[in-house]
Amino acid sequence: MKSRIVKSIYGVALVSVLSLAGAPFLTPTGVMKAQKQDEQEVQENSGSQARKLEGTWRVQVTIRVCQTGAEIRTFPSLVTFARGGTMTETPTAASPALRGPGHGVWEQTGAHTYSQVFEAFTFNPAGAWTGTQRVMHTVNIGRDRDELSSSGTNEIFDANGTLLVMGCSTAVGRRLE
C-alpha cells in the first residue's frame, strides 16, 4: 500500500514538473521547436501590436450638432483601453465634482475598427447624483498605429434612467508613450 502511494506521489510530481517545465524542453528537437514557437509568437505579437487599441490615449473630443456636424466645443480627455476589453476615460469637459470618470468596455469589430461603450455618473453643483452619461463610439486605428479617430453618440439620463439629451461627438487621439 505504501509503495502505491509513493508511486502515485512521484507520478503526480513528475506530471507537475513536466507541465511547469514544458515537455518540449526534454529533447534537443523539443528545444528547437520551443524556440521557433517563441520567435513566431514575438513576430505575431509585434505584427498584431501594430494596430492594437490597448494602451492610454490623449484624445481631443469634439461635441457636435448631430444634424449638421457643426462643432459645439472641444476638450481633451485621457482614455485607457485595457487588455480584456475594459476601459476608463477621464475628460476635462466638466469639473470632476459634476461628472465622474467613464468606465466601460470595448471590442474589436474589424481589422482596425473597434466599438466602445462607457458610462459616467453626473452630479449637480451641490454634489447630489443626477444621472448617467453614456457614450458609444466606433474607433478606427489609422495607418499610423499611434493615431485613432472615433465618432458616435452621447446620451444623458436622469437618475430614473429617462433619456434627457442625446448628442453626437467625434474624437481624434494619439497614443501616450
The domain that holds 133 is classified in CATH as 2.40.128
Q: Let me know whether 14 and 70 are in one domain.
A: no
Q: Let me know whether 127 and 167 are in one domain.
A: yes
Q: Let me know whether 98 and 34 are in one domain.
A: no
Q: Let me know whether 106 and 161 are in one domain.
A: yes
DSSP code of 99?
B
Q: Let me know whether 88 and 157 are in one domain.
A: yes
79: pLDDT strictly greater than 70: yes
Give residue-wise pLDDT tens across range 120-138. 999 999 999 999 999 999 9
Q: Let me know whether 17 and 67 are in one domain.
A: no
Q: Let me know whether 171 and 113 are in one domain.
A: yes
40: pLDDT strictly greater than 90: no
Closest residue by Cα to residue 168 from 65, 80, 35: 65
Expressed as residue numbers, the domain containing 22 is 2-49
Separation CA 58–CA 73 (nearest Å): 17
Q: Give the SS3 label for residue 101.
A: coil
Give residue-wise pLDDT tens across range 59-69. 999 999 999 99
Q: Let me know whether 43 and 99 are in one domain.
A: no
Q: Let me know whether 37 and 60 are in one domain.
A: no
Q: Let me know whether 131 and 158 are in one domain.
A: yes
Q: What is the pLDDT of residue 51?
A: 64
In the chain, the number of structural domains is 2
Q: Let me know whether 93 and 22 are in one domain.
A: no
Residue 93 pLDDT level (bands cut at 50, 70, 90): very high
Separation CA 76–CA 42 (nearest Å): 34
CB atoms within 10 A of CB 148: 24
